[in-house]
Amino acid sequence: MKKNELTKAERTTSAGGCRADWIDREAMGHVLAALMPENRLAIEVAIATGLRISDVLSIETDKLRDKNGELGNRNRITVRELKTGKNRRVYLPNELLEKMIRIAGKYYVFEGRINPKKHRTRQAVAKDMKRARQILRAKKLVVSPHTARKMWAVEQTKNGKDIRKLQKLMNHSDPSITMVYAMADEITRRKIRA
């Protein structure tokens, strides 16, 4: 393999299209500025927690209530991941928690457009993000809601998280999958240079 050549895993597309790339916070800031407010908040929560966008969107309003039934006094919540079925405890920064409380519906924080008993779909967020990412004008990059999870993993790695601890936090079954997330910044840089 040549020095700047991507591995097969880095080139392969997933079943639903291309794999999401990592972007830095400045570039993501431009994309976030172009999103609808609720979708922006969902992506911000994904960046802060490392949750998949489907898990962020499925957060129930009751999860934000304390023992007295009041909203806003719970920064740590437990989320059951839809993909793995495993529970994950995450911390919500105060600023994001306050924004979530302001938009929270009766059943879900991120209500569906048509039915309040259903949460917003990940496809709705992805569609908005596809429109917004065009401002980056980087044809080689695939910026999607999953980019937020990769940003979180890279930040955790740079902050000194051990790969095994990161694997456990991300609920990955294989450490090699976690390694792809931890090195997503370098993988994206190689892709841009190619």
pLDDT at residue 162 tops 70: yes
pTM of the model: 0.86
pLDDT of residue 15: 40
Q: Which CATH architecture has domain 8-193?
A: Orthogonal Bundle (1.10)
Residue 140 is classified by DSSP as T
Task: Quote the CA–CA distance of 161 and 151 in Å, as a whole number.
Answer: 14
Strands (E), the chain: 76-80, 87-91
R_g over Cα of the chain: 17
- Backbone φ, ψ for residue 28 (5° rounding): -65, -35
Q: HSE of 57 in the Cβ direction (CA atoms, 13 Å)?
A: 24
**Which residues are within 8 A (CB) of 9 and not within 5 positions of it... i.e. 6 or more apart?**
180
pLDDT in tens, 46-75: 999 999 999 999 999 999 887 776 776 778
**Which residues are within 8 A (CB) of 3 and not within 5 positions of it... i.e. 6 or more apart?**
none
Q: How confident is the model at residue 135 (pLDDT cuts 50, 70, 90)?
A: confident
What are 147's two structure tokens?
A: 């980019």
pLDDT of residue 193: 84
| Pairwise pLDDT comparison (4 vs 67), residue with the higher score | 67
CA 1 to chain centre: 31
Give domain limits for the chain.
Answer: 8-193
What are 163's two structure tokens?
A: 């790969």
What are 132's two structure tokens?
A: 């917004």
Q: How confident is the model at residue 141 (pLDDT cuts 50, 70, 90)?
A: confident
Q: Are strands 76-80 and 87-91 parallel, antiparallel or unpaired?
A: antiparallel
Q: HSE of 15 in the Cβ direction (CA atoms, 13 Å)?
A: 0
Residue 174 near residue 182, CB atoms below 8 Å:
no
